[in-house]
């Protein structure tokens, strides 16, 4: 028996921003962006919230609305768990998972958010499968755990809210969107065969986005009220740890993504191949057994480099970056929905989902459709 994907869906904001529009903001061009990233346009959420997008994707995955892929219509009462992967939540409390649970009427579901950056959906899928396996029939201690038979895993982002639109090195890369998948424990199907998640240190702070807090403590170190609300020493300490203190002091916005592209590229290309091979080894499989790899969509060059490293042609991978850009935790589930929409995954196929992101995080899941 195994944890089987029975539905997936995706949702994109209405606003489509092409490379020429970005060229009016920063010193760049359509040719420069497309040739270096494979991105021609991206969707930007000017009206939609992350929860709005996640709801649309989830309804497709549950079989409640048109679009996406669903083996059957799943009743709201059947969902026992909601995991919402994001680095750009609409709110801190309640969780976005809690907001989505309420909107969809998932009254039996436990719900929480997860932050593993661009690897978030893969991490979420791995967590859900582990929790389901822990309460499966005939597992020691299963009666003492939440009974989880079906789960909704979502990746949803509004990276446009944490993008520095004056930085041409990053603003050309990111977009918004949401993807979702429904999994269930099925004793008659193999489902997820293995998973691999890992972290590496980011010693040079190649990819960061600090939080901005608007209510600093109004006391000095001795507990005296000195109206020092603009002098939050804890934020200064974090800025120094991330190596951005001078940038903030010079007036740069705090809560924006900052990236050292070459260093992230080097990590990502190696991490993708490592994650795929590690997950396949755990499943006692090789690349020859795999029908398709569904990768995180950060940069087409990274996917091409990984393809070369694995000795496979580019069409061995689903590439969907051209009109979406990098939407962090939403990339893998949206790309997975593309593969079903395009008929690239058939029953019995072995599929690998793989991602990498800030942290540095990486991970892969091998499953049989």
Is 140's pLDDT higher than 80? no
* pTM for the whole structure: 0.94
- 118 a catalytic residue: yes
Is 228's pLDDT higher than 60? no
Q: 92-100: which pairs have CB atoms within 8 A and are 24 or more residues apart? A: 96/50, 96/51, 96/54, 96/156, 97/154, 99/51, 100/51, 100/54, 100/55, 100/58, 100/152, 100/154
**For strand 361-368 and strand 350-357, is the pairing parallel, antiparallel, or unpaired?**
antiparallel
Band (pLDDT 50/70/90 cuts) for residue 217 is confident
**What is the percent of the chain with per-residue pLDDT over 70, rounded to a whole number?**
96
Measured between alpha carbons, how far is 71 from 14 in angstroms, rounded to an integer?
A: 27
> How far, rounded to the nearest angstrom, does the alpha carbon of residue 78 sit from its chain's CA centroid?
24
Band (pLDDT 50/70/90 cuts) for residue 251 is confident
Is 303's pLDDT higher than 70? yes
Considering only 38-42, 220-224, 244-248, which range has the smallest mean pLDDT? 220-224
Is 112's pLDDT higher than 70? yes
Residue-level pLDDT at 321: 96
- 186 a catalytic residue: no
For the CA atoms of 321, 327, 330, 333, what is the dihedral angle to 10 degrees? 10
SS (H, E, C) the chain: CEEEEEEEEEECCCEEEEHHHHCCCCCCCHHHHHHHHCCCEEEECCCCCHHHHHHHHHHHHCCCCCCCEECCCCCHHHCCEEEEECCCCCCCCCCHHHHHHHHHCCCCCEEEEECCHHHHHHHHHHHHHHHHHHCCCCCCCHHHCCCCCEEEEEEEEEHHHHCCCCCHHHHCCECEEEEEEEEEEECCCCCEEEEEEEECCCCCCCEECCCCCCCCCCECCCCCECCCCCCCHHHHHHHHHCCCHHHHHCCCCCCCCEECHHHHHHHHHHHHHHHHHHHHHHCCCCHHHCCEEEECCCCHHHHHHHHHHHCCCHHHECCCCCCCCECHHHHHHHHHHHHHHCCCCCCCCEEEEEEEECCCEEEEEEEEC
- 342 a catalytic residue: no
Considering only 66-70, 80-84, 236-240, which range has the smallest mean pLDDT? 236-240
Q: What is the mean pLDDT of the chain?
A: 93
Residue-level pLDDT at 69: 95
Band (pLDDT 50/70/90 cuts) for residue 145 is confident
Residue with tokens 């997008």: 53
Measured between alpha carbons, how far is 297 from 284 in angstroms, rounded to an integer?
A: 27
Measured between alpha carbons, how far is 172 from 160 in angstroms, rounded to an integer?
A: 11
Write the CB contacts of 95 (distance below 8 Å, at least 6 apart in sequence): 84, 89, 111, 112, 113
The active-site residue out of 3, 118, 135, 209 is: 118
Is 141's pLDDT higher than 80? no
Residue-level pLDDT at 236: 81
Do 328 and 120 meet the contact criterion of CB atoms below 8 Å apart?
Answer: yes
Residue-level pLDDT at 227: 62
Write the CB contacts of 289 (distance below 8 Å, at least 6 apart in sequence): 280, 350
pLDDT digit string, tens, across residues 27-52:
999 999 999 999 999 999 999 999 99
Band (pLDDT 50/70/90 cuts) for residue 224 is low
pLDDT digit string, tens, across residues 170-204:
999 999 999 999 999 998 899 999 999 999 999 99
**Mean pLDDT, range 126-147, rounded to an integer:** 86
Is 225's pLDDT higher than 90? no
CA distances from 67 to 8, 143, 206, 286 (A): 9, 37, 37, 32
Measured between alpha carbons, how far is 98 from 269 in angstroms, rounded to an integer?
A: 35
Pick from 355, 200, 351, 337: nearest CA to 280: 351
Residue-level pLDDT at 144: 77
More confident residue, 64 or 136: 64
**Mean pLDDT, range 269-292, rounded to an integer:** 96
Of 146-160, 226-240, 246-260, give the range with the top mean pLDDT. 146-160
């Amino acid at each position: 028996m195994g944890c089987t994907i029975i539905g997936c869906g995706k949702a994109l904001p209405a606003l489509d921003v092409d490379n020429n529009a970005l060229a009016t903001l920063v010193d760049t061009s359509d040719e420069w962006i497309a040739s270096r990233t494979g991105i021609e346009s991206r969707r930007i959420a000017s009206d939609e919230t992350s929860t709005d997008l996640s709801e649309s994707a989830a309804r497709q995955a549950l079989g409640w609305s048109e679009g996406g892929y669903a083996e059957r219509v799943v009743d709201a009462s059947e969902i026992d768990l909601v995991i919402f992967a994001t680095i750009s939540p609409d709110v801190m409390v309640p969780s976005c998972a809690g907001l989505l649970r309420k909107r969809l009427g998932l009254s039996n579901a436990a719900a929480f958010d997860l932050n593993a950056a661009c690897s978030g959906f893969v991490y979420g899928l791995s967590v859900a499968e582990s929790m389901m396996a822990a309460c499966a029939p005939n597992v020691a201690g299963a009666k003492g755990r939440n009974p989880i038979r079906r789960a909704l895993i979502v990746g949803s982002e509004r990276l446009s809210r944490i993008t520095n639109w004056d930085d041409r090195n990053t603003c050309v890369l990111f977009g918004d969107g949401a993807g979702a998948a429904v999994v269930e424990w099925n004793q008659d199907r193999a489902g997820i065969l293995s998973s691999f998640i890992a972290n590496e240190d980011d010693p040079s702070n190649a990819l960061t986005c600090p939080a901005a807090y608007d209510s600093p403590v109004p006391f000095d170190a001795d507990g005296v009220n000195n109206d020092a609300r603009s002098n939050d020493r804890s934020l200064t300490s974090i800025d120094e740890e991330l190596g951005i203190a001078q940038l903030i002091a010079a007036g740069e916005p705090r809560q924006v993504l900052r990236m050292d592209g070459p260093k992230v590229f080097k990590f990502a290309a190696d991490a993708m191949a490592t994650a795929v091979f590690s997950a396949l080894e755990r499943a006692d499989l090789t690349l020859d057994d795999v029908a398709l790899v569904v990768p995180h969509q950060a940069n087409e060059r990274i996917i091409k480099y990984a393809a070369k490293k694995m000795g496979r042609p580019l069409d061995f991978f689903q590439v969907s970056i051209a009109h979406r850009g990098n939407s962090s935790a939403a990339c893998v589930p949206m790309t997975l929905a593309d593969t079903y929409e395009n008929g690239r995954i058939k029953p019995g196929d072995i599929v690998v989902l793989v991602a990498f992101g800030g942290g540095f995080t990486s991970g892969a899941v091998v499953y049989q459709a």
